Amino acid sequence: MVELLLSMNIPRIFLICSLLTSLVFCQDAVSDSEKRYCHAVIPCPVLNSPDFQKVFGGNSGKTVKVDRKGLIRELEFIAFPGTSFEVISEIPVSGQSILEVRTQDYPYNTPLFIDSRFVAFSGKKVPEREKTLPPAREILSAMKAMEGRPYMWGGNYHSGIKELPDFYPPRGQVPSAMLSLWRLEGVDCSGLIYQASGGYTPRNTSSMLTYGEGLAISGMTAEEISRMVEPLDLIVWIGHVVIVLSPDEVIESTHPEGVIISEMIPRLRSIMPDRKPANEWDGRGKSFVIRRWHR
């Protein structure tokens, strides 16, 4: 499929605005008739930077670009097959293209870039990826199966993308841990339930704060809260989410531990010294809420 796409004679958008010594593509200059669309045909990494080569290989060709915590901050999420994109602009790079895109699957105010080898093009808008909510037992089982998987910032495809080392091959042998990073193996906290639900839930915790229905937990103890929650309830605050598995257990993906299951009441107690239970998110960052979304 990838080779077929690369051999197609597909019209290109070459509207380039020069800003100092950089090349900046002009979104406003693209008319409706020139807009193009595409959809992911395999799991597709979506970055906030167009420089895929720097992320996957760098100057040495043997490393993945990470910050001081070992996280690939350029990774926003992994689009599932069928995810539709609107192409804003195109940057030709070494025989393929990096596309600046937007998608309803990730409605956040950040630039998004994909490698064209992960998608198929269309001259008209592609239908949005169908989102079907699996039964609760399937979601719970899928999350439990990910226990022990590594933490991956922006990750929501725990087995990783096998095509990445083919598209951006390391120069020579690299350690297995580096190869795992190269493939983007693992999930982050919201990516854990995003993958288990088939991409039904919001991708980021910022959206989970108001997702579904809030539980009235203000002023309650950890024991009282544990008697209220149901499987798949979201214990969420800015930057993190913990998911209820049962009245006794919760699951989450944290750095550097990865996906872990822990006891409900001790985990609630560990949260409450710094954040107080609230019925609704107050926007101040000193509270946590519990959102019930699965019926």
Q: Given pLDDT bands bounded at 50, 70 and 90, which one contains residue 2?
A: very low
The answer, yes or no, to whether residue 19 has pLDDT greater than 90, is no
pLDDT band (50, 70, 90) for residue 96: confident
What digits encode the pLDDT tens for the residues 104-141? 999 999 999 999 999 999 888 889 998 999 999 999 99
Q: What percent of the chain has pLDDT over 70?
A: 88
E strand or H helix at 188 = none
Same domain, 116 and 214: no
| Residue 191 belongs to some domain of the structure | no
Please, which residues bridge with residue 262 across strands? 250
Domain final position from 54, 88, 122: 122
> Do residues 205 and 108 touch, judged by C-beta distance below 8 A?
no
pLDDT-derived band of residue 4, with 50, 70 and 90 as boundaries?
Answer: very low
Across 264-270, average pLDDT: 98
Higher pLDDT, 95 or 211: 211
Residue 91 lies in a domain: yes
pTM of the full structure? 0.87
Q: Please give the pLDDT value at position 35.
A: 63
Write down how long the chain is: 295
Average pLDDT, integer, range 21-38:
50
- Structural domain total, the chain: 2
Confirm whether 238 is domain-assigned. Answer: yes
Average pLDDT over residues 36-47: 97
Q: What is the pLDDT of residue 273?
A: 95
Range in 18-27, 32-41, 204-213, 249-258 the model is least confident about: 18-27
> 209 and 118, same structural domain?
no
Residue 142 resides in a domain: no
- Considering just the CA atoms, what is the radius of gyration of the chain in Å? 21
| 141 is a domain residue | no
The β-bridge relationship of strands 276-277 and 287-292 is parallel
Region of poorest pLDDT, from 9-13, 206-210, 289-293: 9-13
Q: Which residues contact 224 (CB under 8 A, 6 or more apart)?
A: 217
Structure tokens at 6: 């690369």
Determine the distance from the C-alpha atom of residue 119 to the mean position of all C-alpha atoms in its chain, rounded to a whole number: 17
| Token pair belonging to 84 | 């539709």
Report yes or no on 163 lying in a domain.
Answer: no
Among 91, 122, 153, give the residue marking a domain's end: 122
> Secondary structure of 105-161 in the HEC alphabet?
CCCCCCCEEEEHHHEEEECCCCCCCCCCCCCHHHHHHHHHHCCCCCECCCCECCCCC
Of 13 and 232, more confident: 232
Return the closest-CA partner of residue 86 out of 121, 110, 47, 117: 121
| Burial state string for 214-225 with b = 16 or more CB within 10 A and e = fewer than 16 | bbebeebebeeb
Domain's final residue, options 122, 137, 161: 122
* pLDDT of amino acid 295: 79
Residue 269 lies in a domain: yes
Residue 196 lies in a domain: no
Domain of residue 223 covers: 205-292
Judge contact between 79 and 114, C-beta under 8 A: yes
